[in-house]
Amino acid sequence: MNRLLIAVAVAALATQAAPTLASEGIPGATVRSDSGMAPADRKARFEQWCKDHPEKCREMKAKAEERREQCKADPEKCRAEAQARREQWCKDNPEKCREMKAKAQQRRDQCKADPEKCRAEAQARSRERFRKADTNGDGRISREEAQKGMPQLARDFDRIDANKDGMVTMEELEAARKARAGASKGKGA
């Protein structure tokens, strides 16, 4: 119950304190108006909001970090809560939900018809994200570069850094991805 209250508080803070993260006052809107924005643009907008509202930003980041720790402790509960939020969003936004599900199904069908093409596209996106995060261009990502450019990598940095040299290469990232995919297939079997 306490975790749910924290999640609600974080959501309320985000919608009240950060209009860039909420619907920006559109009557009856329950979706963000920036949903079509590129991730880099959303990030820049959020960083600007943090500069304009440093105290609220610190509070929001602290609550988000607390939530991440709670999810590490009880991932199943977090998955169930996320599923409930998605279901509620679909109830509140049935048209958008249908569109989103249709688009996802179309993509699944495309990938089923041509899995190699989908794999190649995903690998190209991954290489591009890696290249952008590698700010010094040495072909490796330090923990600092990961924190700035690939936050998910930063969270799993120690697990992915196979040779423990404090740097992650594209090969280590691919190996970790394959290991995770293999583990996922094993769970479903």
Per-position DSSP letters for the chain, written without gaps between them? -HHHHHHHHHHHHHHHH-GGGS-TT-TT--S-TTTTS-HHHHHHHHHHHHHHSHHHHHHHHHHHHHHHHHHHH-HHHHHHHHHHHHHHHHHH-HHHHHHHHHHHHHHHHHHHH-HHHHHHHHHHHHHHHHHHH-TT-SSEEEHHHHHHH-HHHHHTHHHH-TT-SSEEEHHHHHHHHHHHHHHHHHHH-
pLDDT band per the 50, 70, 90 thresholds, residue 187: low
More confident residue, 140 or 2: 140
- Amino acid type, 75: P
Q: Token digits for 20?
A: 């860039």
d(CA 160, CA 173): 6
- In tens, the pLDDT along 109-154 reads 999 999 999 989 998 999 999 999 999 999 999 999 998 889 889 8
The answer on pLDDT for 7 being more than 50 is no
d(CA 125, CA 39): 13
The answer on pLDDT for 168 being more than 90 is yes
Burial, 5: exposed, middle or buried (Cβ in 10 Å; 0-12, 13-18, 19+)?
exposed
pLDDT at residue 87 in the model: 95
Instruction: Give 169's DSSP letter.
Output: E
pLDDT at residue 90 in the model: 94
The CA–CA distances, whole Å, from 77 to 1, 2, 65, 183 equal 11, 12, 16, 21
- In tens, the pLDDT along 93-107 reads 999 999 999 999 999
pLDDT at residue 16 in the model: 43
User: Is the model's pTM score more than 0.75?
Assistant: no
pLDDT at residue 13 in the model: 43
